Each structure stands twice: as structure tokens, then as C-alpha cells.
């Protein structure tokens, strides 16, 4: 089974960049996207109704902002758009799909770069979500999405220059440490310890052509799921967004 995650930076924009061609060529069993910037009524009809897939989405109160969506060939037993906290539920950042054999979270973690208030919101979101995961401690759990944080110096091209930048601050990285301490595993790093593997590049500086990037999109899995993971990849050749897709294969 292949699961793909991609921050698409707007469903209406990427739809015009052959998104459906990519989708069909990928032929993943589950496709998770973040930053859709649309509510369900704003999704193009042929995007919502891809043959063979069940479609789910969540959007926030603010128009043209945030949003997540999932297409799945397998019908989940339950779908939720909440982590049971109104403060964090109202931006459309969360989809939880309960399948027979595992629980999948598609999360668009907040960006803390705009202000001190947004940085606090991001850290509080992390703290609450990590605590919320304790509800599922005996389950097989997969958490994919845009985490908006590079974990280690290997995960961005210029770590020294960005030590005080949101996305690589010690207090942000400590939240990913907590996930590791809880027993969650960064699937890509489980298979690949090499540098220069990134998932986001700044549009403004044409960073992608020079591979001056950040790895901020992840699949974290609970330890009891590790035996089911066959591979984890960064699909850096796929264009259309300032992020590229990441994927795992499980059995």
C-alpha cells in the first residue's frame, strides 16, 4: 500500500498544473494533501470525484487559508476533523482516518514565522497534539503532513544561518524530539541518512534550482508499525508547489 503526502500550496492553483495527471500516475492507495486553501465547495468537481477514491476534507473558518484533504481507495471506518480542542480545530488543519489496521493523521502543522503569537500557537498546537496521541498508544499510528519544522541540521541546507528562524528554533525541534521519545519513527531517516534531501524550497529566492531547501514534510509512525514499512521516499522531481510529495510503502 502506498501513501503519499504533499503540501500543494492551493488546490485551485495546482489543479491548473496537471495535478490530476500526477494523481493518476502516482496511483497511490491514499493521497493526503495540505494547504488546500479551499473549502469543499471550492474544489473542482473532477478533483473531488476521482474514480475509485473516497474523498474527505477539512477547511478553516478563514477563507483561502490552510485546509487538508485525503483521497483513499480504502473506505475508513471513521473520519474526524478534530483533535477535540476548538482553538486548534478551527483552522482546518486536521484529518484523522481510522482504518481497520491503523490510524492515519493528515496534519498541516502551523507556521510560526509570522509573529510571536503564531509561534506560540504553533508550539501549543504541537504540545496539545503530542499529548492527544496518548489516546492511541496501543494503536498503529501514521502521522503525515507538513510539520513546518526541520528536525536536525542535516534537514536543511543552511542550519547555522537559520538557528533563530522559525522552523529550526531549538524549542520547535524539541517538539519533534518528544515524538521520538514517545516511540515515533521518522520513516525517511529510518531508510536514508544522507544530506541534501529536502521537501520545501523558497519560491522567492529560486532555491529549488540550487537545492537550498528544508525537509519539513514527514511520515512519522508508531514503533509497532515499523515492521510494516517497506520504504519511504522524497519525490523531489515532482513540481507544482514549493513543496514536493513524500511517500511510504507499507504492507
DSSP 192: -
CA distance 216 to 131: 21
Closest-CA residue to 7 (of 203, 210, 231, 223): 203
Nearest to 94 by CA among 84, 82, 78: 82
Other CB atoms within 10 Å distance of the CB of residue 210: 10
With CA atoms as reference, report the closest residue to 105 among 9, 27, 11, 179.
179
186 is a catalytic site residue: no
- Among the listed residues 29, 101, 146, 202, the single catalytic one is 146
Output phi, psi for 140, to 5 deg: -85, 120
- Residue 118's alpha-carbon distances to 125, 146, 162, 189, 197, in angstroms, are 10, 16, 18, 28, 27
The rounded distance, in Å, linking the Cα atoms of 183 and 189 is 14
Cell of 240: 507544482
Q: Which residues are catalytic?
A: 146
Amino acid at each position: 500500500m502506498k501513501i503519499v503526502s504533499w503540501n500543494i500550496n492551493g488546490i485551485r492553483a495546482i489543479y491548473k498544473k496537471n495535478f490530476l495527471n500526477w494523481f493518476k500516475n502516482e496511483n497511490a492507495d491514499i493521497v493526503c494533501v495540505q494547504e488546500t486553501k479551499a473549502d469543499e465547495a471550492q474544489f473542482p468537481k473532477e478533483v473531488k470525484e476521482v474514480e475509485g477514491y473516497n474523498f474527505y476534507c477539512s477547511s478553516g473558518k478563514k477563507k483561502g487559508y490552510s485546509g487538508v484533504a485525503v483521497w483513499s481507495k480504502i473506505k475508513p471506518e471513521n473520519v474526524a476533523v478534530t483533535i477535540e480542542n476548538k482553538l486548534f480545530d478551527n483552522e482546518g488543519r486536521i484529518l484523522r482516518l481510522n482504518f481497520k489496521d491503523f490510524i492515519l493523521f493528515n496534519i498541516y502543522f502551523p507556521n510560526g514565522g509570522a509573529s510571536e503569537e503564531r509561534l506560540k500557537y504553533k508550539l501549543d498546537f504541537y504540545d496539545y497534539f503530542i499529548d492527544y496521541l496518548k489516546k492511541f498508544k496501543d494503536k498503529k499510528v501514521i502521522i503525515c503532513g507538513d510539520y513546518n519544522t526541520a528536525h536536525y541540521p542535516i534537514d536543511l541546507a543552511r542550519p547555522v544561518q537559520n538557528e533563530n528562524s522559525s522552523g529550526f528554533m531549538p524549542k520547535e525541534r524539541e517538539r519533534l524530539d518528544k515524538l521520538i521519545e514517545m516511540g515515533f519513527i521518522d520513516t525517511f531517516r529510518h531508510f536514508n541518512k544522507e544530506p541534501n534531501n529536502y521537501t520545501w524550497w523558497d519560491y522567492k529566492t529560486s532555491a529549488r534550482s540550487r537545492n537550498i531547501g528544508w525537509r519539513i514534510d514527514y511520515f512519522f509512525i508508531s514503533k509497532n508499525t515499523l515492521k510494516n514499512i517497506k520504504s519511504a521516499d522524497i519525490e523531489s522531481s515532482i513540481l507544482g508547489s514549493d513543496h514536493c510529495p513524500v511517500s511510504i510503502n507499507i504492507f
